[in-house]
Structure 1
Amino acid sequence: MPDSSPDTTTSTRSPQQVVDQLIREWQLTPHPEGGWFKELHRSALSVQRNDGQQRPAITTILYLLDAGSISRWHAVHHADEVWTHLQGSPLSLWTLQPEGGVAEQTVLSLHQPVHAVPAGHWMAARAEGQYSLVSCCVGPGFDFGDFEMLRDRPSDQHPAGALNALI
């Protein structure tokens, strides 16, 4: 487990040094949607979804976006995702109904640290400063078989309201 000393967030380090230290200490790897991640927990408890698929009850990752990264539009089908702001700059999280509409922006910070994204809804995110460190919990647990990137759909199948800069 990484050193949790206050040195990670002290003002003597540049934001890039903090990002580099978080990546190194937590052994974060690139995520397909953008940014960096590491799975921290995959429940041993298994649940059966309504469609009959078995999944862990819950999974949890650490997720890091630096100033040059975005979490591109993606959806987790058949599972809710809860985003929790842990450290760094506020994070803008956009959500969109599965069929489209108006993208809603929620800013996660110390003042509003948690937001739940319902199963099948589109989501995208961006750090509003040098970096944002969040935890993402998915239940039933995450499986890449339930994950869809909007960029993988033909553009004529993109839901209305998906901000192009986040595709």
Structure 2
Amino acid sequence: MFIGYGQNSAAYRLFVVKSDHNVIEVNTIVETKNADFFEGFFLMKVTVELVPGSMLESESNDNLKVELRRSKRARKETNLGDGFYTFLVDNDPQTYSEAITAPDAPFWKEAIKNELESIMSNHVLELVDIPPGAKTLGCKWIFKKKLKFDRSIDKHKALLYI
């Protein structure tokens, strides 16, 4: 039975309910990457028939009206003092068209060229002709100015997210 994922690996964490030929001890927890899931099969499914007027029937009707549990902790506003100000100084382009029409467009074009060269040299992508009826992958350019300690521009960085 699936109970979660392994803590330090990409394996499944399973509870052994039944083992063929006693290979794995029953009622133990096992982590493995090799697992077949039978989604329509439920080992632990329990059915209970309610007899009209029985104690179980009245309890089940009462349990249908369960309220969600809410935090009782008082919420308080965070105040960092009168001398604390927040400034939004990021004026990086949000789109490709903004980047190539910005006043510093030559720097953004150079950053785009460097990113594409890096992608091609590391064999991350391979450009091919699109077969008829096929859909292309979407992508997004992210533009960021990297700043020095004195807040002057160190370099322009362009990242292509696919």
Q: Which has the higher helix share?
A: 2
More strand by share: 1
Tell me if both proteins adopt one fold, taking TM over 0.5 as the criterion: no
Calculate the TM-score normalised by the size of structure 1: 0.15
Bigger radius of gyration: 2
Task: Tell me the TM-score normalized by structure 2.
Answer: 0.15
Greater relative contact order, per chain length (Cα 8 Å cut-off, separation 6+): 1
